[in-house]
Structure 1
Amino acid sequence: MKNFLRIGLVLVLMVASTVEAAPLSAELVMSGGRTWRGTLLKRDGEWIEFSTGVSARPIRLGASTIEKINYDVELNLDRLLELKENREFDQLISSLNEVLKPFEPYGDIPSNLTRYRALLMELYFLTEEFDQTLTYAKQIEADAGDDGEAVENAQTYQALALIESGRSDEADALMSRLGWLDDLGEDSDPKQLFLGAKLMSVKKDFNRAMELVAYVIAFNSQNTEWMQPAELFCAEVYTELGMYESAEEVIRQIELLYPNTPEYDKSIILKEKVMEMRALQALEQNS
């Protein structure tokens, strides 16, 4: 399996090297909807040199006149997602950054690279690099335009990264602006319930946190996107409150139901923490 993953990563990097070694083939979508197909040659500040192939001399375009760049990117997104499923996060981040490196000079212009940046955003969150998560999330939110799903996904990761990095006031402000904290109850969106629970936990309002996450578990059992992290969150709160037996019971359930997932990996780490806390508690009681 390891050799298979290495081969996959090498193939991805081979694509990246090809892109980096040559000018970038792309379609430019200009203000007013006009499109030009050709080759991006280089960027000089606010000016971009572009060849249409019609004339021997390149033309110079103001970056602000370009609404979007559609690159000819030869990447197998399904293959990248397969590597993600195998949880080779650090290697995949390195590979994706290598792939996207040639496009960096044009990174402030909206493009069809959003889905790859969204994958990087998620990977940085999974590896707890929250500043990087926020950087990509804000860029995606700004560039996604009328792609409502991409915008909402970026906003979700902004909220998660702010919460996990302890910036609860900023998370509260963001979620309030988006209306994600309004009238949370059993009929609310599971994502909003989960984020609300996480926010309450950071604020040490554990009763409200457990109430909200209970709604996720009780009324959204088929929604694995939020059910799995909700159960892990329960175990984390139980641990925080010193309810170790309850934490261990939830951890056992995660190990049984969600093998080969990020929640499983985190539950193993949490189980070790619970064992350490139990041992410390026993020492204190016997002293």
Structure 2
Amino acid sequence: MYKTICMLLLSGVLVGIQSVQAAPLKAKLVMPGDKSWDGVVIGRDGDWIEFATGQSARSIRVGASTIKELVFDVKIDKEKLNEMNRNREYERVIAALDRTIETYADYFDIPSNLVEYNILLMELYFKTGNYEKSLAISSKISSDDRDPELQEKSRIFQALALIESGRASEAEALLSEYGWDENLGDDAPPEKLYIAAKLMVLKEEYNAAMELVAKIIAFNSQNPDWMRPAELFCAEVYTELGMYESAEEVIRQIAMLYKDTSEDDEAKKLQLRIEKLQAEEELNKSLNTEEA
């Protein structure tokens, strides 16, 4: 009797799960030639998408590879999402995005308007140190050339995620593939100078790294998107070299110029690290003096 009840309950749970998975998703189907139909995506069977228009009770099967784009009616409060992002509540934004786009997981390989949410997830995973997830998303988007601007952005995070993960050889190969290891002169784009500098630090080529970052600061003063990380980078390199006073000077400048930014947050963490390193050095000096 108990076994029968359990089986019935389990069947009910499974039916409930299946009904959620099979829930139609409102979307616009766009085919080559920009022919489009409003309707619902009913489900997927391997390489086939089942789609029904609002004017027909019968569904049609469309080859997934033949679809130009699916424009889903994504139910998410963008205004609230942007507010949380501005407040640097990154984990909350990630959770909200994950919950929302998981519904569309079966269709991630098909071009769609989900890319804007994946781009944001890519950035936030990177900011929160989840480089593998950031890399997974950026690697997929980097091959999509429908939007050159988004493609370029994904490639930047793809390279940075590899570097932050300590994968120097893969990062070098990627920069070579994109041609980002050439023409790093004064007029080079700041993002390419920054990526190359980060790679130099990974290889412990600190002087070369600082030369590249100096170009960002000298020739891109009106570009805060790259000035902020470049200055934070300087403070980090100074710290690695044990030049704590120089690092703290840059940290003070970041606090003054870029208050309430993610770089300011990271600079404060760096200040705590410097204080810890200085305390350890003082302790070691004291112990050495006593031994002498």
TM-score (norm 2): 0.87
Q: Is the 1:194–1:230 contact (alpha carbons within 8 Å) kept by the matching residues of 2?
A: yes
What is the CA–CA distance in structure 1 between the aligned matches of 2:29 and 2:139, rounded to whole Å?
A: 23
Q: Is the 2:141–2:151 contact (alpha carbons within 8 Å) kept by the matching residues of 1?
A: yes
Q: Is the 2:201–2:209 contact (alpha carbons within 8 Å) kept by the matching residues of 1?
A: yes
- Give, in angstroms, the shift of residue 21 of structure 1: 9.3
- Give, in angstroms, the shift of residue 51 of structure 1: 0.8
SS of residue paired to 1:116: helix
Equivalent in the alignment of 1:52 = 53
Query: Counterpart amino acid of 1:95?
Result: A
Equivalent in the alignment of 1:124 = 125
Equivalent in the alignment of 1:6 = none
Equivalent in the alignment of 1:7 = none
- Give, in angstroms, the shift of residue 253 of structure 1: 1.1
Query: Counterpart amino acid of 1:182?
Result: E
Q: Which moved more, 1:121-130 or 1:165-174?
A: 165-174
SS of residue paired to 1:184: coil
Equivalent in the alignment of 1:68 = 69
Closer, same or farther: CA 20–116 of 1 in aligned 2, 3 Å: farther
Equivalent in the alignment of 1:10 = none
Show structure 1 runs of 4+ deviating over 3 A: 19-22, 74-79
SS of residue paired to 1:110: coil
What is the CA–CA distance in structure 2 between the aligned matches of 1:53 and 1:187, rounded to whole Å?
A: 54
Equivalent in the alignment of 1:9 = none
Closer, same or farther: CA 68–162 of 1 in aligned 2, 3 Å: same
Equivalent in the alignment of 2:135 = 134
What is the CA–CA distance in structure 2 between the aligned matches of 1:76 and 1:223, rounded to whole Å?
A: 30
- Give, in angstroms, the shift of residue 67 of structure 1: 1.9
Q: Percent identity of the aligned residues?
A: 52
Q: Is the 2:159–2:175 contact (alpha carbons within 8 Å) kept by the matching residues of 1?
A: yes
What is the CA–CA distance in structure 2 between the aligned matches of 1:153 and 1:248, rounded to whole Å?
A: 31
SS of residue paired to 1:27: strand
Structure with greater contact order relative to length (CA < 8 Å, sep ≥ 6): 1
Q: Is the 2:22–2:42 contact (alpha carbons within 8 Å) kept by the matching residues of 1?
A: no
Equivalent in the alignment of 1:97 = 98
Asked which structure has the greater CA Rg, the reply is 2
What is the CA–CA distance in structure 1 between the aligned matches of 2:250 and 2:275, rounded to whole Å?
A: 14
RMSD over aligned Cα atoms:
1.7
Query: Counterpart amino acid of 1:45?
Result: G
Asked if 1:239 corresponds to 2:239, the answer is yes
- Give, in angstroms, the shift of residue 142 of structure 1: 2.9
Structure 1 stretches lacking a partner, 5+ long: 1-18
Query: Counterpart amino acid of 2:143?
Result: A
Equivalent in the alignment of 2:273 = 273
Task: Output one character per residue of 1:90-124: Cα deviation in whole Å (capped at 9) or x when no partner.
Answer: 11100011111211111110101111110010000
Q: Which moved more, 1:273-282 or 1:155-164?
A: 273-282
Asked if 1:204 corresponds to 2:204, the answer is yes
Q: Is the 2:22–2:43 contact (alpha carbons within 8 Å) kept by the matching residues of 1?
A: no
What is the CA–CA distance in structure 2 between the aligned matches of 1:65 and 1:72, rounded to whole Å?
A: 21
SS of residue paired to 1:222: coil
Q: Is the 1:251–1:267 contact (alpha carbons within 8 Å) kept by the matching residues of 2?
A: yes
What is the CA–CA distance in structure 2 between the aligned matches of 1:183 and 1:64, rounded to whole Å?
A: 38
SS of residue paired to 1:28: strand
Q: Is the 1:20–1:101 contact (alpha carbons within 8 Å) kept by the matching residues of 2?
A: no
Task: Output one character per residue of 1:226-265: Cα deviation in whole Å (capped at 9) or x when no partner.
Answer: 1001111111101100111111111111112111111111
Query: Counterpart amino acid of 1:77?
Result: K
Total equivalences in the alignment: 268
Q: Is the 1:26–1:37 contact (alpha carbons within 8 Å) kept by the matching residues of 2?
A: yes
Asked if 1:224 corresponds to 2:224, the answer is yes
Query: Counterpart amino acid of 2:88?
Result: R
TM-score (norm 1): 0.89
- Give, in angstroms, the shift of residue 37 of structure 1: 2.0
- Give, in angstroms, the shift of residue 35 of structure 1: 2.0
Equivalent in the alignment of 1:16 = none
SS of residue paired to 1:153: helix
SS of residue paired to 2:143: helix
SS of residue paired to 2:70: strand
